[in-house]
Amino acid sequence: MKQILLAIALVTLAPASWAAEKLSLDQLSAYLNGLTTAEATFTQINDDGSLSTGKLYIHRPGRMRFEYDGDNGATVVAGAGSVVIHDPKSNQPPETYPLKRTPLSIILAKQVDLARAGMVVGHQFDGTSTILQAQDPENPEYGGLELMFTGDPVELRKWVVHDSAGGRTTVILGALETGGKLSAFLFNTGPGSNSR
């Protein structure tokens, strides 16, 4: 009797594990290209091991905003080809970088093509999630991006930015709310872009 119950248990549990498989580069490219707007809470693990939390907004192509929690929370805004970091606690003017020099440009590109030669340098499946490592094939020195996706339906769950200085920042996403309308003001990189 125990063996029959065990066999029934294995049969009922098995479909979930059979359904999970590595997502192809074409599937992942199609998912990213279909992602126009998204909002999610996030937890960030910084290079020094400290934690930050906040809200993320994505408006593809080219725009992203991180709003960090706290009274003097920082903002990081990608828009108009630049990434602007504003940290009120630093008492310094905002720092600005070209978006194309950051690994985030990979997922914010107008047309994501992960099958492009040299872009993906790792593509694994850990039994639950598809993990890929990507870089700008023309400028690998800009750093890389490790992305983690779950399937059925496909969803971006986490990414790790490996910057050009060897630093590592992990962003773990809450549930993505997609397809909503986002104000253009969220992605303003000019003066006053740190507040809404």
The predicted structure's pLDDT at residue 16? 42
Could you read off the pLDDT of 179-194 as tens digits, one per residue?
A: 999 999 999 987 554 5
Domain count, the chain: 1
Q: Write the pLDDT tens digit of every residue in 17-31.
A: 445 689 999 999 999
- Given this model, what pLDDT does residue 41 score? 97
7 is a domain residue: no
Supply angle C-alpha 149, 101, 82, rounded to 5: 95
Tokens at 141, concatenated: 């020195």
String of b and e for 169-180 (b: at least 16 CB within 10 Å)? ebbbbeebeeee
**Is 10 among the domain residues?**
no
Task: Specify the CATH number for the domain of residue 130.
Answer: 2.50.20.10
Classify residue 78: in a domain, yes or no.
yes
User: Which pTM value belongs to this model?
Assistant: 0.83
Residue 82, domain extent? 22-176
